[in-house]
Amino acid sequence: MQSSIVYLDYNATTPVDNRVLNKMLPYFSSQYANPSSPHLFGIEVLEQIECAQQDLAHLIGCGPSELIYTSGATEAINLALKGIENQNRRHIICASTEHTAVLDSCSFMEKNGYTVTYLPVSKDGVINLDLLKNSLRSDTLLVCIMLVNNETGVIQDIESIAGIVHRSSALLLCDATQAVGKIPIDVNKLGIDLMPLSAHKFCGPKGIGALYVNANVPRLTPLLHGGQQQGGIRSGTLNVPGIIALGEAANIAQKEMVIETEQIKSLRDYLESALLEIEDVFINGFSATRIHNTSNVCFPGVIAQQLILSLGNIAVSNGSACSAITNKPSHVLQAMGLENLYSLSSIRFSLGRFTTVDEISYTIETVKKLVNKLRQ
């Protein structure tokens, strides 16, 4: 009998890797100087920030100067969408399956005079490239399409999307929060102009993230005003421990991504093949290209919330952590054409660095028993 927590909710947040924790701890105590200070103590800290910045830049294939540190991906998304203001281009395109941080920011832009087109997706959650092409206008400023969906793990063809977007002289905002540190990313090869990310999605701490801004993107209008940190685009004393941790998380991901991907994919495939043995069970987005750690599984005849509570020490989710408490059908699954009854019967399993085969075996056994019990 498994007594400890079996954590299969890595898309919501991840445990901090001990190597990351150990790297950041001195910056709370012995190396506490403000990196904006002119004395040697501050300069030493600034040098360490620059090293961490290089590690993150290396992970995503950009220049260190193209990174703006934020409190996380949500702030980065808000900065990108609200800071890119253009009086001559007042049209935004947004995929209907985006994270609520993007959708709510687009809604804000609508209230401020912008027109937003919400693109539907296929039943597997994929953007239709011809529909995207036909939705672009002469005044389109920005297209918002995420790399990896946080609920289903579906991966979009960002390189092809970027080519279409740039031919219309628009910019591409690609939310890569669920992709950074998990799959290889080269922002220049993919053609991404703006890309938010968050450390706590790949074994870093909460409260630190970044926005990649291509050097050719016009200067963003800041959300925060104060000092001139980060060129005045994001004022405020830098979160030194967080930045150091983000850099170390990026460094570890860069070195271990290949072997980690193989291990997690093997566990994910084991989980899926076993759960598909249950009558009528299916995987949402199964036919699409998906990231290796995520399975969104529908258990017809079972209410997902009941199953989640019944699982006890097994931590899973029924969708995005930002909206799971609403107990409403997932907007992502609805956009994919899934009936509300099936949407409310779907659970997301997301695996990560510290998931073990014993945990997956225990989860399979427990889920099978509970599904049969709840169906009765």
**292: which residues sit within 8 A by CB, 6+ positions away?**
182, 183, 261, 264, 265, 268
Active site residue 144: no
Are 271 and 285 contacting, i.e. CB atoms less than 8 angstroms apart?
A: no
Which residue of the set 51, 144, 203, 322 is catalytic? 322
Specify the amino acid at residue 280: D
Look-up of token digits 């409403």: 328
Burial of 361 per CB tally in 10 Å (0-12, 13-18, 19+): middle
Look-up of token digits 């910019």: 171
* Active-site residue list: 322
